[in-house]
Amino acid sequence: MPVEKSDSRYIRSLARGREMLQIVSQHGPITLSEAAEISGLPYPTVARMLTTLHIEKYIERQESTKRYHVTALVRSLAHGFQDENRLAEIARPHLVELTQEIHWPVLIATPLADQMVVRDSTHTLTSMTLHHYYPGFTFPMIDSAAGQAWLAFCSPETRKQRLEEIEAQADEELAHMIEIAKKDVKFREIRKAGFAVRERNTFTAPVGKNSVISAPIFRGDHPIGALALVYFASTHNLQEAIELYADIVMETAKKIGNELTVE
């Protein structure tokens, strides 16, 4: 039986620390004031939490901007997931090569509960980005191109389980998306095309300025994550972006998967 928040064994401070680390991961680089506003916690409480995470080296503070972002140490929280660690190592040269060719930043992400978590990205290698997404950044599975690409190709049993987990805490907008997802029409379209798209992301900064094309990465027959290309929504309409980038995104995802598979 799962432990509920009302259970006497539930440690509220530990949960808040996890929530704060997730806020920095999702919204960083972030200021103390921004973290307090997002969390709804008192300023002094947030200051102590950020200081603790800083001392423990899970986040860093940029002295020039007074902003916090997660460090590579957050990867240690998922140290047991060797597939993801190896994925980042193998994918890195492919990500760099792809960004050098098309100039847009790309990232790889893997599923984590009802989220997708960034394992590596090239946002720091190009000026054609509005925000840097460090390893550890998380974003919604059901409302992202990478999440939809992974969901479309995972097993029906796994997809059903993930959708149920998302539905259990979904707001009205997400609930509508889940109902559509359950019908599998959109996922069939993604499987047929080989990639997923998301116009004007609402969960990336600045809101609505980025669009994404994403393709699944397989290890053998098993999808373990997705490759995503992030471009300015104002630069290309969706059809132009698909014509320009869909094939190379799928090709790069396939190369990464092939290297994983032959190990």
Query: For the segment 117-159, what is each residue's pLDDT rounded down to a tens digit?
Result: 999 999 999 999 888 888 888 888 998 999 999 999 999 999 9
pTM for the predicted model, two decimal places: 0.70
Inter-residue contact 138 to 118 (CB < 8 Å) = yes
Split the chain (263 residues) into runs of 10 and give each run's mean pLDDT: 55 85 86 92 93 89 86 65 75 97 96 88 92 84 94 92 81 76 88 96 81 96 95 95 98 96 74
Which domains does the chain show, CATH number per domain?
Answer: 12-70 (1.10.10.10), 80-261 (3.30.450.40)
CB atoms within 10 A of CB 167: 17
What's the pLDDT score for residue 1? 37
Distance between CA atoms of residues 133 and 95, nearest Å: 14
What's the pLDDT score for residue 7? 60
Q: Which residue has the tokens 């929504």?
A: 233
DSSP 68-87: EEE-GGGGGGGTT-HHHHHH
Q: Which residue has the tokens 């997002």?
A: 38
What's the pLDDT score for residue 2? 44
What are φ and ψ of residue 119, in 5° steps? -100, -30
Inter-residue contact 135 to 122 (CB < 8 Å) = no
